[in-house]
Structure 1
Amino acid sequence: MTVVLAPAAIQDIAELRQLYFDVYGHGYPVPLGSDPAVMRRMITDGSAHWLTARTPRGDLVGSAVVQTDAGSRVGKLLGLAVHPGHRGGGLASRLTGAVCETALATGVLDSLYATVRVVTEGPQHVVVRNGFRPLGLLPNAVEVDGCESLALFARYADGVLERRAPVDRVPERLTGLLAAASAGIGIDCAGTARAVALESAPRRAFGAEPIELISAPAFVRRRFLERFPRAADRFFPLHTPNALLVAADGGFEAYADLDPVAGSCALVAVHPRPAALTGALEALMTTVTRAGADYAETLLPLADTEALEIFLAS
């Protein structure tokens, strides 16, 4: 059946919510398919490219979104959904290709990434057919229909990898990952050396005093911008912290995007620097687990050897 692709509009929100319910039921952990306020903002504020698919009769049968972070030049493909009655005709691939081409054509993005459920092969084939390359697995990363693992894929704008700045050295435990990235993506890491392991810093003692959790999103955002005024220091694209984890002695402030619905936590930044978490990550994980997250992730620059060593040691 012929379908027409068009940008999402505010008047589509009710039908989009119904589509995501038809596809995922009550278990869809992403607010773009369930929260009207979030959906309205994404449609109107220019932060996303959102395409819908309609039949000649006007039925909304498909949706796909690329959420963008222009400051980091990164976008994320998410919210791909095709009504169960319209699968098997290539609509998912067509939507994916169209929304990705639209996003990359703006020239403000260097790369797109997607995290894909691995319980079925179909979504993985869809992204691979549209130029995404497999980068790895995120084990037990999300609560959808139980605890599920996700596969990580990325697609790059033309010429981006050729402009990549080389990294001189990485911790030895990352050399296997680097070799896999070289083979899978084609980047040349032959000149990257193994870093000499840093001497272990004295471990902080965390006993009776727990790490304090501040769940006040507006305050946390203001504090985050005060602590990290330069955009270059806010390294985690597409994540805005909504929670603050603070050592009882004030030794560090860890900014997190905590999502109890998805059972996940993204550790966005640490003040004054990641090394301040030395010896504290287990206590931090205990705190976020009590707040409803079973899984935590962070994103670190490959060139930040000190931060990588701290997290690998934990």
Structure 2
Amino acid sequence: MTVTIAPATPQDVAQLRQLYFDVYGHGYPVALGSDPEEMRRLIADPHTHWLTARHEGAGHLAGSVAVQTDPGSRIGKLVGLAVHPEHRGGGLAGRLTADVCRDAFATGALDSIYATVRVVTPGPQQVFARNGFRAIGLMPNAVEVAGCESLALFARHADGVLARRESVGQVPGALIPLLEAARQSTGLEYGHPRATDGPALPAGRTAPVTAPIELITAPGFVRRRFLELLPDPGERFFPLHLPNAVLTPPDGAFEAYADLDPVAASCSLVAVHPSPAAVAGALEPLMAAVTRAGADYVETLLPLADTAGLGAFLAAGFIPSAVYPAMRRIGDRFHDYVVLSRTSRQIDFRTTAVSARLQPYLRSYLTAWTSTYLPLPEVAP
């Protein structure tokens, strides 16, 4: 049968919901495939490229995929790639991926597109690798789909972007294995940065926070406050994430803005005022507050050059999980960013299909996790 790939329309919403149900059951944690109002909004959004695939004669959609873009950061996220179980094995996932990326990059408004990829089977990893995406990290326990699942992070760049990356002279020593994993997997160079340790506590804080962290979940208020405190987009660089919660200690020493998703059991720390290093000494009670709110997985995004911020999160048990090359454009140069994550659940890789491209990241993660949570036993002389 002939396959027709075309932009999604509002009339497709009912069949799109049925498609995502047929693929994921009740476990799909993304509004793009489950919330009719949000789906219609995205279809009408000029910054979203949404394609559907239909087989002639079939009574349902055969596939779907979208790229949501953040014009300010020039980054897109590929989401919602799904192929109906009756139409798998014919290369449709690859066609959808190729077409939606072509359309998104053709606008000239994007420097890169990234995707979080399920690793319960090797198929999705192969689809992205065949379409010019590089594996850039592995994030254990990142989402609740059919149980707790790990995700791989893949990225594809526009022509010429990777040649304009800014080098970094020093990084916390705990990041060296991750950069080596990235070299092995992507072939990209990260130079030979000097290993150093960032400060454990920011200026002005002399002791860890022990009082409970206050969590405010009022999305409208949180976003207004977020924009008031951080008017410079460079201070709140976390593409395609908007905070819906803020965490703060009783003394108001910092405000940590979070995109909290209890359905997916995940949380992204979008930005911290006055600086990421300000949460040093407070991340344990902050993690406790997020866990009580329903998130077992927390991640944050920091520049590879931010030694102080990286050091604060590393000291609190966050593991370097991914490195996104040339993520942020400043002038005519591009800067690398690091994803750090922490999970409160036991990690189980037995059902994870880790391809050769992801193996270096798995080894890097295990090395970092072991050195953080399994200190070497002392040997008596």
SS of 2:62's equivalent?
strand
Structure 1 residue 204 corresponds to structure 2 residue 204: no
Instruction: Return closer, same or farther for 1:229/1:197 CA change in 2, 3 Å cut-off.
Output: closer
Amino acid across the alignment from 2:78: L
Deviates more, 1:52-61 or 1:88-97: 52-61
1: distance between equivalents of 2:213 and 2:275? 17
Structure 1 residue 296 corresponds to structure 2 residue 259: no
Shift of 1:191: 4.3
Instruction: Identify the residue that residue 19 of structure 2 maps to in structure 1.
Output: 19
SS of 1:107's equivalent?
coil
Instruction: Identify the residue that residue 244 of structure 1 maps to in structure 2.
Output: 246
Amino acid across the alignment from 2:265: G
Instruction: Identify the residue that residue 287 of structure 2 maps to in structure 1.
Output: 285
Q: Does the 8 Å CA contact 1:3/1:53 hold for their aligned counterparts?
A: yes
Structure 1 runs (4+) deviating above 6 angstroms are none
Structure 1 residue 313 corresponds to structure 2 residue 333: no
Instruction: Identify the residue that residue 136 of structure 1 maps to in structure 2.
Output: 137
SS of 1:285's equivalent?
helix
How many residue pairs were aligned?
313
1: distance between equivalents of 2:265 and 2:35? 17
2: distance between equivalents of 1:281 and 1:197? 16
Report the TM-score when normalising by structure 2: 0.79
Instruction: Identify the residue that residue 172 of structure 2 maps to in structure 1.
Output: 171
Instruction: Identify the residue that residue 28 of structure 1 maps to in structure 2.
Output: 28
2: distance between equivalents of 1:38 and 1:17? 12
Equivalent runs, 1:1-314 vs 2, <5 Å: 1-57=1-57, 59-195=60-196, 197-198=198-199, 200=201, 204-207=207-210, 209-314=211-316
Deviates more, 1:124-133 or 1:262-271: 124-133
Shift of 1:204: 3.4
1:273-309 C-alpha deviation (Å, 9 max, x unpaired): 1121111101001001000000000000111111011
Q: Identity rate of aligned residues, in percent?
A: 66
Shift of 1:133: 1.0
Amino acid across the alignment from 2:28: Y
2: distance between equivalents of 1:150 and 1:311? 21
Higher relative contact order (CA 8 A, sep 6+): 2
SS of 2:156's equivalent?
strand
SS of 1:93's equivalent?
helix
Shift of 1:78: 1.0
1: distance between equivalents of 2:136 and 2:259? 23
SS of 2:250's equivalent?
coil
Shift of 1:169: 1.4
Shift of 1:181: 1.8
2: distance between equivalents of 1:241 and 1:196? 30
Q: Does the 8 Å CA contact 2:198/2:312 hold for their aligned counterparts?
A: no
2: distance between equivalents of 1:199 and 1:248? 21
Structure 2's unaligned 5+ residue stretches are: 317-381
Structure 1's unaligned 5+ residue stretches are: none
1: distance between equivalents of 2:258 and 2:201? 25
1:182-222 C-alpha deviation (Å, 9 max, x unpaired): 33333332242223543655553433x31111110011111
1: distance between equivalents of 2:192 and 2:148? 39
Q: Does the 8 Å CA contact 1:206/1:283 hold for their aligned counterparts?
A: yes
SS of 1:300's equivalent?
strand
Give the CA RMSD over aligned residues: 1.4
1:234-270 C-alpha deviation (Å, 9 max, x unpaired): 2100100000111111111000000000000000000
Report the TM-score when normalising by structure 1: 0.96
Amino acid across the alignment from 1:308: L
